[in-house]
Every structure is written in structure tokens, then in C-alpha cells.
């Protein structure tokens, strides 16, 4: 199995266009080499079949920077077969509009998200004239790439996107995924948005060689401390890395798994390779994912 980490920032990227917090200011001064595009992953169990997890607004440059996703010479074919959405957030779905010119893709999402993208934010009707989408609701497990890639769906939250905040549709609204290569036996978990740590997630992490988790915020009160306003991490649908109930404490001791954080907010000091927070992660054998990073399992 191969994982290509296409983007690693929370909504708005790093730096954000309208922000001069310490993280954004540092990134601007350092230049594009350290900038982060918005979170997205590509996964494959065979060379000619790749699947995206989420479709960020930055999807075009992300695909262009990934040779594995390029069409064969002289063709308009693509190895991209489909997209699995973890939720209905704008920074995870609007990139689908940029994929409209390709062949029809299979698009998978929880039922509540498919309904929201039909009624509240009518992305389905916008894409329909281009014939670029075959929508399918997710629950439990599915097989992709002629059965070689087994995908397990892990409900992790009922946090609704802001455009559907008043919706009464039952969840789950946010999911994580476990990918199993049925030929090699390798497994990976991708969970970029974690409002809680359910038992199903703990079970899915068992035996996984790689896990890429929600690293949006370093601490619960980060937004307020860095920008002077804003709700806490949990109120925004993200467990912080540190503090009471933080995710880092859950990872210690699990040395059989390679741990990565993704979906870093612009306020997260761990985005800076020279920070004390990054050193703490390194000492805990946890990595901060980088745009373009490829992982072979």
C-alpha cells in the first residue's frame, strides 16, 4: 500500500491569506518551501488505482505535484478512481469542482453528508451536468480496486458543517477510515478530524502500521492565546494534541505503529520544525506530516 500525503493544513492553509498570527507570519517570512496546503490524502494498493480522501480547494496543485496521479502520456486517462469524504466541510469538498473535467469518479460519504451536499450546499447538482460523480453512501465496510483495498468506516463525530448547523439529520457526520491491503496485509488509519476517541477507533488502530491523525490544535485554548479570540479546540470539533484528554498521551507506548499528525491549524506551534513543541513530538516518536510525503507499507 502507498500513501501520498497531498496536504497537511487545516482550512485556509498555512499561511492563511488574511492572517498575521505568529505561525502565518513565520511561514510568510520563510517562503513557499514551508507553506502547507489544505489537508488531503491519496491511497493506493495497486499502481493504476488511486483514491483521494477528501478533495481540498488546493487539489489541482496537489495532484500536479504527485507523479503517481498523472495521466499516461498522450491520454486523458487518470489513475484516480474515486474520493472518500471524511465529512462535508468546505475545505474537504470544494475540490470536487476542480475534478469535474475528468472521467466519472465514485464519491463516497456518510449518508448525512451526501444529503447535506444535495440540499444544504448543492454540490451534487453543480457537478451533475458534467457527469463526473457517482455518489454512494458509506456505512461499515467497502471494497475498492477489485477487492484489493478494504475500507472500514469509523464514525468519530456528529459535528455538522456550518452551512448545515441547523440540520436534524442523524449522523455520523464525520468519519475516519482504516485501509487494509488484502494482498500484503498492511493497514493504515486516516483520521484528520477527531472530536472524540471512540472505542471503534481504538480497535481500528490495532495492527495498523501507520496512523495519520488530527493534529489541528496543540492545546485546548490555542485559538484564544494566539489570536485573542475563538472557541476551544473541542468546540471546533478537534481533540487537542496535549492537555487532559489530548491525543498524544494515547500514542505513547505503541511503538509498532508509525504516528503522524496532519490537518494543522495555522496557530499550531508544532507546524514550526524549530519549535519546542515539534521537539516534544520527535522525542515521543511522533511525526508531523509534510505536504508531498509518501509512505510505503
Domains of the chain: 2-296 (3.60.15.10)
pLDDT(103) > 90: no
Confidence of residue 181 (pLDDT cuts 50, 70, 90): very high
Q: Contact at 8 Å (CB) between 153 and 139?
A: yes
Q: What is the DSSP string of 93-106?
A: HGGGGGGTTSS-EE
pLDDT(141) > 80: yes
Confidence of residue 214 (pLDDT cuts 50, 70, 90): very high
Cα–Cα dist 118/126, whole Å: 9
Burial of 256 (0-12, 13-18, 19+ CB in 10 A): exposed
Strands 187-191 and 174-181: antiparallel
pLDDT in tens, 10-55: 999 999 999 999 999 999 999 999 999 999 999 999 989 999 999 9
- Mean residue pLDDT of the chain comes to 95
Segment holding 182, helix H or strand E = none
pLDDT(137) > 90: yes
Cα–Cα dist 184/250, whole Å: 27
> Looking up cell 510568510, which residue turns up?
28
Burial of 148 (0-12, 13-18, 19+ CB in 10 A): middle
Cα–Cα dist 227/75, whole Å: 48
Is the whole model's pTM more than 0.85, yes or no? yes
Q: Contact at 8 Å (CB) between 38 and 12?
A: yes
Section 249-265 average pLDDT: 92
Cα–Cα dist 189/195, whole Å: 16
pLDDT(276) > 80: yes
The pLDDT assigned to 211 comes to 98
pLDDT(104) > 90: no
Amino acid at each position: 500500500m502507498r500513501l501520498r500525503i497531498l496536504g497537511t493544513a487545516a482550512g485556509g492553509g498555512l499561511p492563511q491569506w488574511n492572517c498575521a498570527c505568529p505561525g502565518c507570519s513565520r511561514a510568510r517570512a520563510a517562503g513557499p518551501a514551508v507553506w502547507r496546503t489544505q489537508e488531503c490524502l491519496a491511497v493506493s494498493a495497486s499502481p493504476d488505482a488511486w483514491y483521494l480522501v477528501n478533495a481540498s480547494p488546493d487539489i489541482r496543485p496537489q495532484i500536479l505535484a504527485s507523479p503517481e496521479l498523472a495521466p499516461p502520456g498522450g491520454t486523458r486517462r487518470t489513475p484516480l478512481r474515486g474520493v472518500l469524504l471524511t465529512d462535508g466541510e468546505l475545505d474537504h469538498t470544494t475540490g470536487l469542482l476542480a475534478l469535474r473535467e475528468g472521467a466519472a469518479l465514485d464519491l463516497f460519504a456518510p449518508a448525512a453528508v451526501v444529503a447535506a451536499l444535495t440540499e444544504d450546499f448543492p454540490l451534487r447538482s453543480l457537478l451533475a451536468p458534467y457527469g463526473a460523480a457517482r455518489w454512494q453512501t458509506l456505512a461499515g465496510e467497502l471494497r475498492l480496486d477489485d477487492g484489493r483495498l478494504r475500507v472500514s468506516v469509523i464514525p468519530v463525530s456528529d459535528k455538522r458543517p456550518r452551512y448545515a448547523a441547523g440540520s436534524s439529520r442523524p449522523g455520523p457526520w464525520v468519519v475516519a477510515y482504516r485501509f487494509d491491503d488484502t494482498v500484503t496485509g498492511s493497514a493504515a488509519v486516516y483520521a484528520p478530524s477527531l472530536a472524540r476517541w471512540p472505542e471503534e477507533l481504538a480497535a481500528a488502530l490495532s495492527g495498523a502500521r501507520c496512523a495519520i491523525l488530527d493534529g489541528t490544535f496543540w492545546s485546548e485554548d490555542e485559538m484564544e492565546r494566539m489570536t485573542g479570540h475563538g472557541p476551544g479546540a473541542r468546540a471546533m470539533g478537534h481533540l487537542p494534541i496535549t492537555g487532559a484528554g489530548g491525543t498524544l498521551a494515547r500514542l505513547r507506548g505503541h511503538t509498532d505503529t508509525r504516528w503522524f499528525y496532519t490537518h494543522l491549524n495555522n496557530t499550531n506551534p508544532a507546524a514550526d520544525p524549530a519549535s519546542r513543541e515539534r521537539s516534544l513530538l520527535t522525542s515521543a516518536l511522533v511525526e508531523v506530516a509534510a505536504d508531498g510525503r509518501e509512505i510505503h507499507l
